[in-house]
A and B are shown apart, each in its own frame.
Chain A
């Protein structure tokens, strides 16, 4: 029986199986049945095995993973994206210009991309691995130093990467090129809108030649592109039915809405300010420059025999609404992610580039009192900000980190933007014939840079679940199959989203001004950071690092 149901299977077998189980599904699917569209769908829709809505990194990674595996490469797949994927594939940028949307890929995400073969197509001259992370808190002098290089030296192991910075566009292009390489271009429905998602019709008749698609999601598609569509010049509308519909369609996921899955959470009332920066690293005074000044002066007792490739910096600013992070990119560029209040985000956007540079440098070094004051200065006078910064630096001790944060010398033109920060988590990742991945399933605070990694891990898990179903001759859209994916990822996603939220909450303590209580809370947090950093509890730091990786 299992062999007979091996995919791709003849359709009548599926329908009969669906008919057997119709009763048990009726209960769960009844609400959608009533929403059935008795409209323009005249002919039977084309049936696909996996239909992914959304051509972001998560959706593309899923497609690349399915197509690169010999078990699942024969599946009939479709990926629907409103944007023109052809333009994304041709994306290119000069070496000194970087997109402001860049993400930290953890080693596990990179290894997944390597496994699918997409990492080779990601332009390696535009990615930056870093093996050190300096974290400190403006409310106290405690620091956290996540230093894989030092850790691996201790165990005489090869150096390991904390994470790799990649522009999202670079990753998207790499995935698209891999999909092209796999010959799966036909699966891409570029510049195509999903006009409707409904349950299909029951066309089964006595003769047994029709299909009962009443339990299947059917998508109405409208192709916008005129030139690239192979047949006609006008809008082409088609309908396709999905054995498994994957929602990779982001925060306002239409697929999630179709499946009736609720998503709970809250808005942080904070904005993430992103930008691409030009930075100049501060000369490292730690070892008296003994190692860096050439191979002649090799210091046997240097803390760091292996040169550090790059360092990420994160400073928590509780009174200003969240942390500021500077993540390294190649060519002395860096990516800024600053979580702050919407008012401050608006202020930063209204500043001239000179003023923005002053504010970012100030945010990395000055006290929160100074920063709060600087945000009250008129945005039209960037010289004032610069003079405030210069004056205050004379009276402020440098950050208590082992490696000083870089000096920001410029903001790439037009790269400073902001977006609202939210927390959302779907109540379930799966429902019959529907699975959610990426932001459609969970939206997290960017302070740990885990959003994209969660999406890629979802894609990896779903791809392996599909492979499992294929090898065991199961129906891809069956809830029993999808439950494997749901149970694998729901807990982990919620743990990560909740953990990041808890961290954010922890670092918002004592943000209510500079009173006694706020100061006390800031100091209490210092104790916690010392515990993590100082190794008072053995293995705790390693655990945190492992979780982050």
Chain B
């Protein structure tokens, strides 16, 4: 249909009058124009209600409203404090609190570093498929890969126990979270901290200083669950170590672990600027031995003081 110029002029006038006479619709045209102006921008950035939940930004993504996010954060925090072995809850807490600022900052730190950028480009995943434990066990002593495999064997965990990221809205930031989560075991291996609550809290403090993710800081609340002696050890040894090293060392998120498997652990630690913390297992063993020795001594003293002849098999019972 061909519209003559004068007709077009009239239409222009008409449309301007219509525009003036529909103040209610100003908002809807505005939102319409915005929506189509940026078709690529993540839809979850805008607020929505549970009735019109936007489609996921990546497979497995669950867009959350602000209320849902807050509920998830509070709920997962309480659950993981009552049961620290609920790693799914700790993961959910990590995702619920990382947005909007902290995960972006971590991503920017990756983007500022050549290796970090390479990781974001390649997007490697750490699973038992991509990282064959058989091969790692055959590596020479003191390599990162061997240490990692030895650590996995000692703690009885596998790389496949990591949950996929669901609640981070940006697709690239979700990968950063995933990467952090999958590399967590490497941090254990490099620092030598065990998976018990005590070792975990020490490592979380280290990660908090190093990555700035709020979940790692919130996890420090688990200190209240420690026994008094463990707590004292935490404040005197591990927390000072964690903050000093986490702050000073290079960003662990920018380590391309897949390429460092054959590197010497001490050399990598040196390059990153991490001192190895005291071996918690050795401390515990030593303490246990001391306790046992003390107990034996006490019992011996008790034996000497009593006149009755005790059965020699009693101490082993």
Asked if A301 lies at the interface with its beta carbon under 8 angstroms from chain B, I say: yes
Complex alpha-carbon distance, A199 and B96, angstroms: 77
* Contact status A514-B11, CB under 8 Å: no
| Residues of chain B within 8 A of A156, CB atoms compared | 16
* Contact status A301-B16, CB under 8 Å: no
| Residues of chain B within 8 A of A302, CB atoms compared | 15
Interface-side segment among B32-40, B147-155, B277-285: B32-40
| Residues of chain A within 8 A of B101, CB atoms compared | 519
* Contact status B111-A295, CB under 8 Å: no
* Contact status A404-B18, CB under 8 Å: no
CB < 8 Å neighbour of B33 from A303, A397, A519: A303
Residue among B2, B11, B108, B120 with the highest chain A CB neighbour number at 10 A: B108
* With known contacts A300-B14, A369-B108, A373-B111, A295–B8 Cβ distance under 8 A: yes
Shortest C-beta distance, A477 to chain B (Å), equals 54
* Count of chain A residues with a beta carbon within 8 Å of a chain B beta carbon: 32
Residue among B2, B16, B171 with the highest chain A CB neighbour number at 10 A: B16
Q: Tell me the chain A residues, 285-299 only, with Cβ under 8 Å from chain B.
A: 285-288, 295-296, 298
Shortest C-beta distance, B25 to chain A (Å), equals 8
Complex alpha-carbon distance, A404 and B37, angstroms: 8
Which label, helix, strand, loop or mixed, suits the secondary structure of the B interface? helix
> Chain A 395-421, CB within 8 Å of chain B: the 1/0 string?
101101111100000000000000000
Asked if B29 lies at the interface with its beta carbon under 8 angstroms from chain A, I say: yes
| Residues of chain B within 8 A of A402, CB atoms compared | 33-34, 37
| Residues of chain B within 8 A of A298, CB atoms compared | 3, 8, 11
Residue among B2, B8, B12, B15 with the highest chain A CB neighbour number at 10 A: B15
> Chain B 1-44, CB within 8 Å of chain A: the 1/0 string?
11100001001101110111000000001000110111111100
Complex alpha-carbon distance, A303 and B18, angstroms: 11
* Count of chain B residues with a beta carbon within 8 Å of a chain A beta carbon: 34
* Contact status B36-A301, CB under 8 Å: no
| Residues of chain B within 8 A of A372, CB atoms compared | 112
Shortest C-beta distance, A318 to chain B (Å), equals 14
* Contact status A305-B15, CB under 8 Å: yes
| Residues of chain A within 8 A of B262, CB atoms compared | none
* Contact status B172-A395, CB under 8 Å: yes
Asked if A235 lies at the interface with its beta carbon under 8 angstroms from chain B, I say: no
| Residues of chain A within 8 A of B40, CB atoms compared | 397-398
| Residues of chain B within 8 A of A404, CB atoms compared | 37
Asked if A391 lies at the interface with its beta carbon under 8 angstroms from chain B, I say: yes
* Contact status B38-A153, CB under 8 Å: no
CB < 8 Å neighbour of B2 from A295, A373, A514: A295
Asked if B105 lies at the interface with its beta carbon under 8 angstroms from chain A, I say: yes
Residue among A154, A305, A403 with the highest chain B CB neighbour number at 10 A: A305
Complex alpha-carbon distance, A391 and B121, angstroms: 8
Complex alpha-carbon distance, A305 and B8, angstroms: 10
* Contact status B38-A397, CB under 8 Å: yes
Shortest C-beta distance, A23 to chain B (Å), equals 67
Asked if A367 lies at the interface with its beta carbon under 8 angstroms from chain B, I say: yes
Asked if B184 lies at the interface with its beta carbon under 8 angstroms from chain A, I say: no
Shortest C-beta distance, B203 to chain A (Å), equals 24
> Chain A: which residue is nearest B4 at the CB level?
A295
| Residues of chain B within 8 A of A373, CB atoms compared | 111-112, 117
> Chain B: which residue is nearest A300 at the CB level?
B15
> Chain B 121-150, CB within 8 Å of chain A: the 1/0 string?
100000000000000000000000000000
| Residues of chain B within 8 A of A306, CB atoms compared | 12
Complex alpha-carbon distance, A370 and B117, angstroms: 10
Known: A153-B16, A395-B171, A398-B38. 13 other contacts (CB 8 A): A154-B19, A286-B37, A298-B8, A301-B29, A302-B15, A367-B111, A372-B112, A373-B117, A391-B121, A397-B40, A514-B105, A519-B101, A519-B105
Q: Which residues of B contact A (CB under 8 A)?
A: 1-3, 8, 11-12, 14-16, 18-20, 29, 33-34, 36-42, 45, 101, 105, 108-109, 111-112, 117, 120-121, 171-172
